[in-house]
Amino acid sequence: MPIRTLLLFGGRSAEHEVSILSARSVARAAPKERIEIVPMCIARDGRFVTPERSAKILDDNDKSDAGNSDFSMESWVRTAGIDCVFPLIHGTGGEDGTLQGYLELLGLPYTGSGVTASAIGMDKGHMKHAFAAAKLPLVEFVQVHEHDWHNERERILRAVNNALRLPYFVKPANGGSSVGVTKVKNDQDLGAAIEKAFRFDEKALVERGIDAREIEVAVLGNDDPQASLPGEIIAGREFYDYEDKYVDDKTQLVIPAALPKEKVEEFRRLAVAAFKAIGASGFARVDFFLERGKNRLYLNEINTIPGFTNISMYPKLWEATELKYSRLIERIIELGIERFRARVTRQDGAMKWFDEVKRIV
């Protein structure tokens, strides 16, 4: 019997359309004899869309602005016979732990990272603290809270000037696809950049800007994760921002990246270390900087639900590492079920222990 897989896509973030593209690609490429795809969209208004309408959205024959007000996901899933959920909702509400927590409450197996790792992977401040605890190489940064900014602006500006040197990159702590990111070339523009970041989150990060190549590595697995060959992003704009990713379409992907063998192995090793540092599972993409001139490597961030079309970086990295797209989809679903079964076994063991204690008492 094929694995009956609920493919979740859409969501309320800025990456709604990207999520639809990812889901459309997965639905087409999943091996039909082994994976049965049941599509379900979360509309822009946050409501679920019926599987029938969701299939039309994937076929570009319906809109995803509003969900079905009379449809209950909780009621539907009780009799739907779902074996696994494949969330492909990027950004806020999809990869920040909230959706994962909802699926946990429903008792459903799902692909990718759990609640904690998803939340850490989405919050760049917590993410960097986890990387620092694992002694991974990071670019210097200063974290700014909105409340502190409004009350101690001069102190924060001094702290940034003392800790970092221009240029700076300012970004929201929570947000995907470089939304709200500004490159600051002089101190007079720093305040406006921080204010812009606060439009998207209550925390902002100010990082030292470096002249660097952008290298990405795909990671796959649970307890024994493996890393792909590295690939390189060559931005069409000054830096790889939202417009460069989704509007201008001038970005180049170089896979595999032109790197010496020892550097390739360093990227792969550190990608797995980053994956483990936040407790990730299933799949994730890890992004790096390789400083020009000094050839020094810095870890940038981890994405626990990366873009997943057949031309996205994550699948293409695995294709270059000799794992085809259709098999990659199947493997991610298998890993989700494997993780769920391990958790159920552990929970059953814990409940058995409590029952034994009760008998003793």
* Each residue's pLDDT tens digit, 258-310: 999 999 999 999 999 999 999 999 999 999 999 999 999 999 999 999 999 98
- We report the CATH number of the domain holding residue 232 as 3.30.470.20
The residue among 186, 208, 230 that closes a domain is: 208
Predicted pLDDT of residue 250: 65
95 and 16 in a common domain: yes
Structural domain including 44 reads: 3-111
* Each residue's pLDDT tens digit, 23-42: 999 999 999 999 999 999 99
306 and 228 in a common domain: yes
- We report the CATH number of the domain holding residue 159 as 3.30.1490.20
- Residues marked active site are found at 15, 177, 246, 285, 287, 301, 303, 307
Strands 231-234 and 252-254: antiparallel
Report which of 31, 211, 242, 235 is spatially closest to residue 139, judged by C-alpha positions. Answer: 211
Whether 63 is covered by a domain: the verdict is yes
Whether 255 is covered by a domain: the verdict is yes
Predicted pLDDT of residue 322: 94
Whether 7 is covered by a domain: the verdict is yes
The residue among 158, 187, 208 that closes a domain is: 208
260 and 241 in a common domain: yes
Longest Cα–Cα distance in the chain: 69
Q: In the structure encoding, which two tokens stand for residue 93, read together? A: 């509400």
Whether 105 is covered by a domain: the verdict is yes
Predicted pLDDT of residue 352: 76
Rounded to two decimals, the pTM is 0.91
Predicted pLDDT of residue 112: 98
Whether 119 is covered by a domain: the verdict is no
DSSP, residue by residue, 175-218: -STTTT-EEE-SGGGHHHHHHHHTTT-SEEEEEE---EEEEEEE
Predicted pLDDT of residue 249: 57
175 and 216 in a common domain: no
Whether 129 is covered by a domain: the verdict is no
Predicted pLDDT of residue 355: 73
One-letter-per-residue 3-state SS of 326-350: HHHHHHHHHHHHHHHHHHHHHHHHH
CA 170 to chain centre: 19
The domain total for the chain is 3
Q: Which residues contact 55 (CB under 8 A, 6 or more apart)?
A: 39
Q: In the structure encoding, which two tokens stand for residue 346, read together? A: 């552990």
- We report the CATH number of the domain holding residue 85 as 3.40.50.20
Taking the C-alpha atoms of residue 281 and residue 283, their distance in angstroms, rounded to an integer, is: 6
Q: Is the CB of residue 206 less than 8 Å from the CB of residue 162?
A: no
66 and 158 in a common domain: no
Report which of 37, 48, 27, 26 is spatially closest to residue 2, judged by C-alpha positions. Answer: 37
What's 112's DSSP letter?
S
Whether 361 is covered by a domain: the verdict is no
Q: Is the CB of residue 35 less than 8 Å from the CB of residue 7?
A: no
Report which of 169, 155, 152, 115 is spatially closest to residue 280, judged by C-alpha positions. Answer: 115
Report which of 102, 66, 61, 70 is spatially closest to residue 85, judged by C-alpha positions. Answer: 102
Give the percent of the chain with pLDDT over 70: 95
The residue among 183, 208, 233 that closes a domain is: 208
Whether 294 is covered by a domain: the verdict is yes
76 and 21 in a common domain: yes
Q: Which residues in the chain show pLDDT less than 50? A: 244-248
